[in-house]
Amino acid sequence: MTERRLELLDAISDLFRDTDDVDRLLQKIGTLASKLARAEGSSILIFSEDRSHLYFKVSRGKTAPILRRIPVSDGVAWWVAQNGRPALVNDVESDPRFTGTIDKITGFKTRNLLCVPIKLEGKVIGVLEVVNKLGEEGFTKEDLQLLSMLSSQAAIALRNAERMEEYRNFFSNSIEIFVKAIETVGVMANMMFPGHCWRVALISTLIGQMMDVEGEELYYGAVLHDIGILEYKELGWEFGSEDPWENAKQHPIWGANIVKEIKMLSSAVPIIRHHHENYDGTGYPDGLKGDEIPLGARIVSVAERYEELLLKAPISGKGRSEVIERIKGMAGKELDPKVVEIFISEVLRGR
Ligand SMILES: [Fe+2]
Ligand SMILES: [Fe+2]
């Protein structure tokens, strides 16, 4: 095995170690490609969604900002993408596939180039290209083999990115479905107004930003704080039954139990379980007091009281100031005085 192959294998094993950010990963693959092939520059081009052109996903050097805006639908890269075969062009002038379009736009002078397809499950999704071999000689068959090995790593990186995107899409849509379900039950049970979960999440994250509280955890805790009401039916509660509120008091526990099974949301569990605790220890389900209550839950509690009172208040300027006074009155009793103070002085100021 040649020294360069060993270098490549070393680099590949390192490639995925420190990042799952696909853009950085592809940048690293580009850098590695020029280094191993001893080339002046490298780029990764990817098919547009309708496959009408390629675009520069990664490019290095002075021309990079211009390249990113150029759609490519001719030249050697386009030929490789269309045919799924590599191209080793050591004299661009004598190769009919070379059109020079990019050189004309950027002012770059391509002498020779090597371009390999990036394939995912047999389908070409883009190309990896190196240009201008450093020194007198042109690119070699070995360069081509090394580049092909690197292109399969680029394919893995892109496939992972695609999967991650699909997971993200699934996750955010699932949250929306959860919220729809929570609000449907909540509104029918007269426990909330439509949009309650989103509004509480918005106000909570605004307070959280002022208190340096981790955004995601607070956001998911807030948007799903009432998810436990989805269990009502299972426990025999029916709309209009005699004492739904006693039963309703179980919802923070039910909610925490539902969400604790979802690993990605596990940090939101304490917020869900404790969003009805009172600062003075008179709340439920555990009667926690002061700082025993997780900060995220104390924040959601303020957001929720404000939202509820405001929606029930008469629609007038006076209604709002009365609500603020009532919230102030709850500081140190139901609500954390510090959170109330930050909410009123930082979040509501100027709104
Ligand atoms: Fe709520
Ligand atoms: Fe609740």
- Write out pLDDT tens, residues 166-211: 898 999 999 999 999 999 988 888 889 999 999 999 999 999 999 9
Topology annotation, domain 3-161: Beta-Lactamase (3.30.450)
Q: Express as a percent the part of the chain with pLDDT over 90.
A: 59
Q: Which ligand does the CA of 276 lie closest to?
A: 2
pLDDT at 159: 86
Instruction: Say whether pLDDT at 316 is over 60.
Output: no
Distance between CA 174 and CA 216 in Å, rounded?
A: 16
Q: In what order do the strands lie in the sheet with 87-89?
A: 54-59, 39-47, 123-133, 113-120, 87-89
pLDDT of 124 above 70 = yes
Looking at the CA of 285, name the nearest ligand.
2
Rounded Cα distance, 255 and 261, in Å: 11
Question: Which ligand is nearest to the Cα of residue 195, counting in written order?
Answer: 1
State in Å: Cα 304 to ligand 1 middle: 6
Res 350: pLDDT: 57
pLDDT at 19: 60
Concatenate the DSSP letters of all residues of 138-205 into one string: ---HHHHHHHHHHHHHHHHHHHHHHHHHHHHHHHHHHHHHHHHHHHHHHHHTTS--TTHHHHHHHHHH
The amino acid at residue 40 is E
* Distance between Cα 157 and ligand 2 center (Å): 42
Ligand nearest to the CA of 303: 1
Over residues 49-56, the mean pLDDT reads: 94
What token pair was written down for 289? 């007091």
Tell how far the Cα of 248 is from the centroid of ligand 2, in angstroms: 8
The CATH number assigned to the domain with range 173-347 reads 1.10.3210.10
Q: What is the DSSP string of 68-127?
A: TT--B-SHHHHHHHHH---EEES-GGG-TT---HHHHHH------EEEEEEEETTEEEEE
Ligand nearest to the CA of 245: 2
Is pLDDT larger for residue 160 or for residue 257? 257
What is the reported pLDDT for 215?
A: 85
Relative to the alpha carbon of 249, which ligand is closest?
2
Closest CA to 264 of 341, 167, 332: 167
Most confident of 232-236, 316-320, 344-348: 344-348
**Structure confidence at residue 234 (pLDDT):** 47
pLDDT at 75: 94
Centre of ligand 1 from the C-alpha of residue 106, in Å: 58
Q: Give the lowest-confidence range in 31-45, 67-81, 242-256, 287-301.
A: 242-256
Tokens of 237: 């509660």
Distance 201 CA to ligand 2 centre (A): 13
Tallying the residues shown for the chain, one arrives at 351
Residue 45 DSSP SS3: strand
Mean pLDDT value across the chain? 88
What 3-state class would DSSP assign to 127?
strand
pLDDT mean over 73-81: 95
Q: Which residues pair with 47 in a beta bridge?
A: 54
% of the chain with per-residue pLDDT over 70: 91
CA of 213 to the centre of ligand 2 (A): 21
pTM over 0.75, yes/no:
no
Q: Which tokens belong to 10?
A: 């070393």
- Is it the case that residue 334 has pLDDT exceeding 90? yes
Q: Mean pLDDT across the stretch 125-140?
A: 92
Q: Where are the domains of the chain?
A: 3-161, 173-347
> Average pLDDT of 301-309?
94
> To which residue do tokens 């390629």 refer?
54
**Higher-scoring residue by pLDDT: 289, 216:** 289
